[in-house]
Amino acid sequence: MSLADIIGTISFTVFLRITISQLRIKKNMEHKKSRKNKLPNYVSMLRVKSFCAFAVLLFTLYSADAQSLKVGLVPIGKVDEHHINIVKAGIENFYRAEVSCLLSTPMADSLLSTYSDPKRVSSISVINAKAVNLALAVQIYRKYDMVVGLTDSALTIGKRLMSERILIRGLAADTLKTATISTFKLKHESVTEEIFIENLTKVARHEIAHVLGLRHCYSSDRCLMLNGMKFKNTIPEFCSACLEKIDNRLLR
């Protein structure tokens, strides 16, 4: 339960108790004439408290609505906890989202890609991003708006991998409300830890945006939503054109 849910529950309880107290006092006023002069002031005080509690409740409901994006984060196989924390922070610091870390999903054979160049990639496990997105879709139920898979293994876009050159950083499936992110290619592209953190953050935000319906950007040469070929030019922010296309209530 989020903080907004807790505050909302408390506010509603207080509002309900005050309302019940008002009804009881009103009933007593009809039968106890001797307290006629004292009760109205007490009733006024309760009305003020009731109004305040109701105002807090409305504010809480508004806040809960603004922070309505619930994301499930699923490690695929064994994933470095540091990488999980980077992705979680990268999403929550950018989107109005609550990220829940779910149980790890084993790297079953059904999630792996086959390849025709064993001399180049025989030493690594290569995951089929489309198969992972499909498998993650069953974990959404009604609890999450989307589910994101995270792996430290190599990732490819389909079942068959011809060479390491077509390994990808991530893949989203907006119709399934899922996305898969890999740190494998990013680790080879990032010369420092700081660059790796920024790159992983950019990929996480990029794939979330795809799930939310945003497409690749052709209005800027620095936007977060540039396609993968221009990844080095991207920044971890939307350009003005993409900001107009996304629901700003989902952004911090």
Q: Which residues pair with 4 in a beta bridge?
A: none
Return the bridge partners of 49, or none. none
pLDDT digits over 134-193, tens only? 999 988 766 899 999 999 999 998 765 555 558 899 999 999 999 999 999 999 999 999
* Segment (H or E) for 206: helix 193-211
The bridge status of strand 69-75 relative to strand 170-173 is unpaired
pLDDT of residue 133: 95
Q: How far apart are CA 231 and CA 250, in angstroms?
A: 24
> Each residue of 209-245: pLDDT tens digit?
999 999 999 999 999 999 999 999 999 999 999 999 9
Taking the model in full, what pTM does it have?
A: 0.73
